[in-house]
Amino acid sequence: MTINYEINASGQSADTVTDPQKLFQALPSKAKKYAYLRDVQGDVLGKWHASPKGRDAVIKMNTGGGKTTVGLLILKSCLNEGVGPAVYVAPDHYLCSQVEREAADLGLKSTDDPRSPDFQAGHAILIAPVQVIFNGSSRFGVGDVHKIPMGSVIIDDVHACLAIVESQFTLKIEREEAAFEPLVNLFISDMRTQSVTATQEIINDDPRGFVQIPFWAWQEKQAQVVDILSKHLADTSRKFVWPLVKEDIAACRCFVTAAAIEVSSRCLPVDMIGSFQHAKRRIYMSATLADDSVLVTDFGADPAAVGKPITPKTASDIGERMILIPQEINTGVTDDDIKEFVCNLSSTENVVIIVPSRVRADYWSDVVTADLTLTAENIEQGVEQLRGSKGNLAVLVNKYDGIDLPDDACRVLVVDGVPDTRRLLDRYEQGTLADSDRYLSRQVQRIEQGMGRGIRSNEDYCVVIAMGSRLLAALYAQGAAKYFSPASRS
């Protein structure tokens, strides 16, 4: 083990030093692969350490730039400074497992249990999926109840976490649930003022039916809405969603389709999770987040901090990427042509296709085996197969972020189609704000995140193929190109 005599002589150790770059050198049991920090990592850590420590900070690093190591070192630095407990938030369990492995390789103590004495005492970093923090039965407390405090919290892949938090603050009532019919009956006359045809389609269980409840009618009938929900709400929604939206319900927007009713808030009341609201340090980490304003509206971040993100001074961490759009070059090229072409490539290289839905995944089912059609249930095993062998063809279903496919794990990446909207509110905005800056930036953000799955370091390389008429329309929409990062525009 290499000994840093300078740190030992000054009386500093991995449990006392607060400069994250010196902390990295002081870690006594990190794996051999961590011989040194990358230039971009050291640059970002130095800027963060030198910056005024306000409550909010934004860190932007390119995909594959080593954000996880940076985040873990910052949290350990915060613990050494006495700003604990420390929480590392990731979008899902799969990504949390990756963070846990990196923490172990660095020799940092971590846990996945919010009740852990080591976490609460500031001796270990809690690594948790975002839905563990933001739900109506959160162990961190809801409303005025603060069960477990947070001192410092990092939200990694904040673009992906935002979408999950939005769903956590969205009350969805399926048609078969007891509350559906009473709510439709309550607003039936108001729905007809918006669209007689769409309202009748909803009554007839026609999937084309889609109506927004007028905001004035929604506000006027709040007492009846609350009465219906208190009597008929399903147990899962009552436990995990209702506590988050009930105090903000008058400001919500309500949409009705034949399949479900959805109650959504435009600006999320994240202050319902008091431990997050009162955390001393909140650090948001992102690869590409074109619309930074969502950090203010959805997470309540300080606008001044959002306006001055911490970024590396160089882009030396970016690998080589060739982006090809065959159907733009030759309009005669069909989806089937591209499918045949990439299938041939998969005989020697790993090819990964990102599709927006299971319906689109069916298009590839004749050339992709079931165990390589990757969803939340089998993604970890599928990624391990891609990392361990060549000549695979895999499909990622609606997974545009949070997956690392370095080197031979993915040499050809196909982005097939436009990411699906998650909420009815998003579907409504897609129809009414299709050419707006807000919609275009969020659409491009997810597309670019997908394009970054195959590039994980400055020595990596990958071919990206974009296909599908809807994707081409999104890429070439008026003004859309400006929302890509400089590297992708190049």
State the DSSP string of 148-175.
S--SEEEESSHHHHHHHHHHHT-EEEET
How far is residue 400's CA from residue 452's CA, in Å, rounded to a whole number?
9
Task: Give the pLDDT of residue 368.
Answer: 87
Write the DSSP symbol of residue 410: -
82 and 133 share one domain: yes
Residue 95 lies in a domain: yes
Residue 313 lies in a domain: no
Per-10-residue mean pLDDT for the chain, 490 residues long? 48 82 92 85 93 90 80 96 94 89 95 94 95 92 84 90 88 94 96 95 92 94 94 90 88 92 86 90 80 80 89 73 90 93 92 91 88 84 88 89 82 88 71 68 80 78 90 76 76
Q: At what angle do helices 93-106 and 379-388 cross, to 10 degrees?
A: 50
161 and 287 share one domain: yes
Task: Give the pLDDT of residue 1.
Answer: 47
382 and 472 share one domain: yes
210 and 335 share one domain: no
Q: Residue 406 is part of which domain span?
A: 320-489
215 and 152 share one domain: no
Residue 188 lies in a domain: yes
| Strands (E) located in 327-376 | 351-355, 373-374
231 and 324 share one domain: no
CA neighbor of 76 nearest in space, from 27, 29, 32, 31 = 27
260 and 381 share one domain: no
pTM of the model: 0.83
Residue 80 lies in a domain: yes
288 and 200 share one domain: no
Task: Give the pLDDT of residue 15.
Answer: 87
23 and 114 share one domain: yes
Q: What is the dihedral of CA 388, 390, 391, 392, to 10 degrees?
A: 30
How far is residue 120's CA from residue 271's CA, in Å, rounded to a whole number?
21
144 and 258 share one domain: no
Question: Does residue 451 sit in helix, strand or coil?
Answer: helix
Task: Give the pLDDT of residue 350.
Answer: 92
CA angle, 407 then 62 then 292, to 5°:
145
300 and 423 share one domain: no
Residue 111 lies in a domain: yes
350 and 208 share one domain: no
CA neighbor of 448 nearest in space, from 403, 408, 401 = 401
Rg (CA), the chain: 24
Separation of first and last alpha carbons in the chain: 43
CA neighbor of 336 nearest in space, from 276, 416, 450, 255 = 416
Residue 315 lies in a domain: no
Number of domains in the chain: 3
Asked if 483 and 440 count as a contact pair (C-beta separation under 8 A), the reply is: yes
Task: Give the pLDDT of residue 65.
Answer: 67
Residue 314 lies in a domain: no
User: In this structure, what CATH number is given to the domain that contains residue 375?
Assistant: 3.40.50.300
Residue 312 lies in a domain: no
How far is residue 270's CA from residue 447's CA, in Å, rounded to a whole number?
27
- Which helix (H) or strand (E) covers residue 260, if one does? strand 260-264
